[in-house]
Amino acid sequence: MATRECFGLPPNWPGSLVLETNGVPNLRDFSAKLWLVDEFGHRLDGWSLRGAILQAGEGRYLPDAATYDCLTAYGKWKELGERSEADHLRFIHVLTEAARHGCRVDASSAGKIDVLTAVEVTVDARDQMDGSILLTPVPITEVLAEMLGAAASKGDDAKSILGEYVAKISDRMTQLNVNGEEAILRIGPTIVLLDPEQTRQARTVAGSRRIPPSDAPRFRRDSAEWLAEHHFVHGDVEFLPRVIGIGAWAGGYLGAAGELGEKIDWFDKQPESEKDRKTSSEPGEVSAPEEAGPDADDEDVDNQVLIIETNDEELRWGLRTGGEPDEGVISITPDFSVYPRTPYPHQKEAIQWLGLHAERCGTPQKWSADQKFWGAGALFADDMGLGKTLSTLVFLREWFQAWREATGHPAPACLIVSPLSLVENWGGEIRKTFGDSLSPFSRTVQAIPAANLSCYYATPNGRDVVRAGSGNEDGKVERYGLRFGSGDEESLDMPGTVVLTTYTTLRDHRFSFAGCDWSAVVFDEAHNLKNPNALQTIAAKAMKGFFRVALSGTPVENHLGDLWSLMDTVEPGALGSFSEFRTRWIHPIRQDPSRMQEIGEDLRNHLGPLILRRTKEESLQGLPAKTVISMKIPMTDRQAELYDEVLRCANDAAENEEGTRRTNQWLASMWELRRISLHPELVGDAVGAPASSSTACRDYFSQSGKLKWLLERLDAIRELGEKALLFAVQKKFQELLRRHLSVIYGVKVPVINGDTKAVASRSSNETRLGLIEEFSEAPGFGICILSPIAAGAGLNITSANHVIHLERHWNPAKEDQATDRAYRIGQKREVFVYLPLLEHPSRSITTFDTGLHRLIEQKKQLADSLGLVQPQSVGQEELFGEIFGSPGSGSGRASLPMSIADALKLSWEHFEALIACLYESHADRVILTPKGWDHGVDVIVLGHRKFGNILIQVKTTSFSRLDSEAAVRELKGGETFFENALNRKFDLKRIHTNAGGFSKRTTRIANLYRTEAHGRKWLEDELKKRPVTRGEVIARNAHRESI
């Protein structure tokens, strides 16, 4: 102070600093304000910094260095135009460092995070068991350096401290590529920031982490020299000439949504609000919540793609007729006697057919600059169960051998793309087909994140780093995510390799895969490429595959147009441009659907030998018979009672609602009719009863006509010592079956659906293939539950000869695929396929089961007899027309009010709807908020006659008391949002539950936030005053409203 007075300098700032934030640093809406707080605790709104002088209120101050750093950091942060997460964190870092050195600054509002900056990046090298060395870039912070120094001075083990830190960094390598020029590493509550140069250094090391055993001695001698030489750099990568640039995919194929067939999962769609419908990304775009597995068709948020010649309006890539082979083609001469599994005659024919098409590729060579086609392809469309996998693998071995003999060097790598569920299956088939000595492949790589893909990462997370173009300038690949092209073992596409990957992985790493040279690309279950606008289809068409094969037992799942997209991938030009295809084959069917078979035959003849399609009946001599049995099963009284109530609700909607509201109510009713048809206690998407004893489980199943029949059928199958496959769509129903059937029959009942792992992991070895092998090898009786979507293709389960479709898929092709898991090559016994159909006591009422069955049979009868045109999916309006009648129609049974016992058993979403119903007669408007997007509020009551405006949170529990502080806090948190959204003040907040009461801490927090808490007693009293039927609840649940 004396020095300041001596030089006439202003005093130090006597107060403190407080940071006030809104949001979190990694979100776009993050905002912050730095307040000055004087020595009396008052916040000063206006202050400025001019040079080193702080002007605050009427006073002038010269802050100390730490305070000055905080103020200047805030000023620089405010001046930034576009602020990144790194910008936010660097600002917070300055404040926390200042506090660490004694500055009075409170940055606690930013959360419990410790932001550190790296001083330098070093490289840690660790020897591995196989003789290789693993490198890890290690950002050194001041705090770490101090810790290591202190540990060394005390004689502690600094090496172990560093080792723990390196292990944490190693586990977080994928974070290095998340942000732009400045990487951010999150290690628990600690965040480490790297500047652009440090980020570049770290990414360079992370891109070449593994030093092979052969190079390890040289690295130990001179690590700096080795690192300088071995930074993995891709040279000039040449893409297929079909690729004409890099940019954002804007879509093509005008009218493709209608011309190429809509998605078939419309029935999985839950009712939507008007707001949801208006903001939908694409007409007909729906979700499939029950089976959104790993290979679900969701598009990558990064829309930079390899722009290809689309062949949309005109044919710009490909030939209208197959090219003539050059001299010196690679020809195969198979010796089938050497294989452990001798191919069947029809498989030998397929192998030779593939070989003839491979000859059309000509001599292995690069394309010329003016070439408009390259290589060749074909569609292998044999019926499911005829062994396309074996035929393809034998062909690949023969072709690899012929390639080496013709050229003197190994064939380039081969790529096999399949759904995730079949990757492990392909690996197993390779082992079975070739044994230990016949494999043509130098190695097999499962190139998926859960397996070997990370071994070939050239960036920390293996993703391609692409800079978007601007104006007329194309985008550019700055760094490829995978190593390829070098020809050595570090390269994914090392010659002689077979690479197994998925459509999702191909999409996510599309630039790297497109840069690889492939001798052959095989697309298994190729109907995954039926949408020409999907990124995975664009990625597939950009592959440099000399020979291309599409495998699909259902090349036309929804519409003839599916076929065009498949052929444009493997043999572009065979069906002309998309415009020509529509004119010749699509439009005539639209104008006259009765010509479908005629036009299908014309299309089949046009493709000629480019497609190979045989059925099991044509090709397999001695295959056992397949008997399909459909039987009508009466509903139980409880099922009929609930069915009538839901049906009446839906039929009344035809008279009282219109547009989206009517469709929503019909969709909601359809869901309930489907659930009731399985078991009455599943209404409202309830979980179902727990499984206790065998007797209790059988009693529970006896409440459902269909499940009672199921036990009778399974009892008979058990007597025969045979196995059964049960197909069901809904995961909750699959789990209910598993729980109860395992107790009833005392056997392990596996479930194979979208959640079942496709490949083994450290935490679990229960993969799809592993579960199937265990089920198949177990002696005698067994039950396996499968999804017709996730397990409907590629799996071989011939140990079972009874197939029961408990819950049917509305696409007949999917159902046939599911049946063919058992009816295929290898089946030794007669196969029985059961279609149980629930029937209403009033025969005049078409039930969900009988209506869907009639439509499916109609679709099958209209399908092309050649098998090329698959049965069409059942449409939404078609099924509505089957099962919904006129207003008030039904069995005549009166709707009964819900009892308190019924109300307490409602699912959470129906319980929310019930609460909304109970308030509606007392208010001007009641809003039931959308599931999952409610901002902590489930029901909004506006203009209540007694209480005004009310916000309500609804909770269900299986306990006698609700213990949930979160419910109260969520309700409080939503108050501000809805006050702003609705421009209203709320007079009351309430929590409603099905429990008898509330825990002490929930009551305490409710009192603190002035929130009323009502349990079972309130509900019972209100139901006496205002009776509510289940139909009203279902109708109310169908109309949720977004705010």
Q: Count Cβ atoms below 10 Å from residue 743 Cβ, excluding itself.
A: 19
Residue-level pLDDT at 289: 30
**Architecture, CATH, for domain 308-312+328-364+374-619:** 3-Layer(aba) Sandwich (3.40)
Q: Which two tokens stand for residue 781?
A: 């009786």
> In this structure, which long-range contacts are made by residues 1001-1008, counting pairs with CB atoms below 8 Å and at least 24 apart in sequence?
1001/963, 1001/965, 1002/961, 1002/962, 1002/963, 1002/964, 1002/965, 1002/967, 1002/968, 1005/965, 1005/968, 1005/969, 1006/968
- pLDDT (average), residues 431-441: 90
Instruction: State the residue for tokens 């509510």.
Output: 1028
483 and 431 in contact (C-beta within 8 Å)? no
- Are the folds of 629-636+704-882 and 900-1037 the same? no
pTM confidence score? 0.64
Highest mean pLDDT among 390-404, 596-610, 854-868: 390-404
CATH number of 900-1037: 3.40.1350.10
Q: Give the C-alpha separation, 365 to 670, whole Å.
A: 57
Range list of β-strands (E), 273-364: 304-308
Highest mean pLDDT among 588-592, 645-649, 840-844, 955-959: 955-959
Q: Which two tokens stand for residue 512?
A: 């790297």
Least confident of 519-533, 554-568, 848-862, 1015-1029: 848-862
Q: What does each C-alpha distance from 706 to 151, 527, 627, 674 come to in angstroms? A: 70, 33, 20, 12
Q: Give the C-alpha separation, 704 to 642, whole Å.
A: 12
Residue-level pLDDT at 108: 81
Return the ∠ at Cα 375 (arms to 374 and 381), rounded to 5°.
125
Q: Where are the domains of the chain?
A: 11-110, 114-229, 308-312+328-364+374-619, 629-636+704-882, 900-1037
Least confident of 97-101, 373-377, 399-403: 97-101
Q: Give the C-alpha separation, 726 to 784, whole Å.
A: 6
Q: Give the C-alpha separation, 497 to 517, whole Å.
A: 11
Which residues, 6+ apart, have CB-to-CB distance to 464 below 8 Å? Answer: 477, 479, 480, 481, 482, 509, 510, 511, 512
Instruction: State the residue for tokens 């750099």.
Output: 233
Q: Give the C-alpha separation, 876 to 899, whole Å.
A: 34
Residue-level pLDDT at 749: 94
Q: Is the pLDDT of residue 411 over 90?
A: yes
pLDDT digits (tens, 9 = 90+) for 788-847: 887 656 678 999 999 999 998 878 878 888 888 898 888 889 999 999 999 998 877 888
Residue-level pLDDT at 864: 47
Q: Is the pLDDT of residue 441 over 80?
A: yes
Instruction: State the residue for tokens 């392990």.
Output: 748
- pLDDT (average), residues 628-645: 91
Residue-level pLDDT at 235: 59
Residue-level pLDDT at 505: 95
- pLDDT (average), residues 545-555: 92
Residue-level pLDDT at 671: 83
Q: Give the residue, 765 or 4, on which the prediction is more confident.
A: 4
Q: Count Cβ atoms below 10 Å from residue 1001 Cβ, excluding itself.
A: 12
pLDDT digits (tens, 9 = 90+) for 254-291: 444 444 433 334 344 444 433 333 222 222 222 233 33
Share of the chain above pLDDT 90, in %: 36
Q: Give the C-alpha separation, 115 to 335, whole Å.
A: 66
Highest mean pLDDT among 112-121, 491-500, 783-792: 491-500
Q: What is the full DSSP assignment across 243-274?
A: EEEEEE----STTHHHHT---S-GGGPPP--H
pLDDT digits (tens, 9 = 90+) for 183-231: 888 887 788 888 888 887 788 777 777 788 887 888 887 776 666 555 5
Residue-level pLDDT at 761: 54
Residue-level pLDDT at 231: 54
Range list of β-strands (E), 840-888: none
CATH number of 629-636+704-882: 3.40.50.300
Q: Give the C-alpha separation, 984 to 949, whole Å.
A: 8
Return the ∠ at Cα 746 (arms to 744 and 751), rounded to 5°.
85
813 and 871 in contact (C-beta within 8 Å)? yes
Residue-level pLDDT at 499: 97
Nearest one of 542, 54, 82 to 317, comparing CA atoms: 542
Q: Give the residue, 141 or 735, on which the prediction is more confident.
A: 735
Q: Which two tokens stand for residue 308?
A: 């290809």
Which residues, 6+ apart, have CB-to-CB distance to 592 below 8 Å? Answer: none
- pLDDT (average), residues 726-743: 93
Residue-level pLDDT at 970: 84
918 and 950 in contact (C-beta within 8 Å)? no
When pLDDT is cut at 50, 70 and 90, the band that residue 80 belongs to is confident
Which residues, 6+ apart, have CB-to-CB distance to 431 below 8 Å? Answer: none
| Pairing between β-strand 59-61 and β-strand 802-805 as defined by DSSP bridges | unpaired
Q: Give the C-alpha separation, 791 to 612, whole Å.
A: 25
Residue-level pLDDT at 302: 62
- pLDDT (average), residues 586-607: 84
Q: Give the C-alpha separation, 382 to 554, whole Å.
A: 9
Q: Give the residue, 1003 or 25, on which the prediction is more confident.
A: 1003
Q: Is the pLDDT of residue 714 over 90?
A: yes
Sheet holding 16-22, edge to edge: 43-44, 31-37, 16-22, 105-106
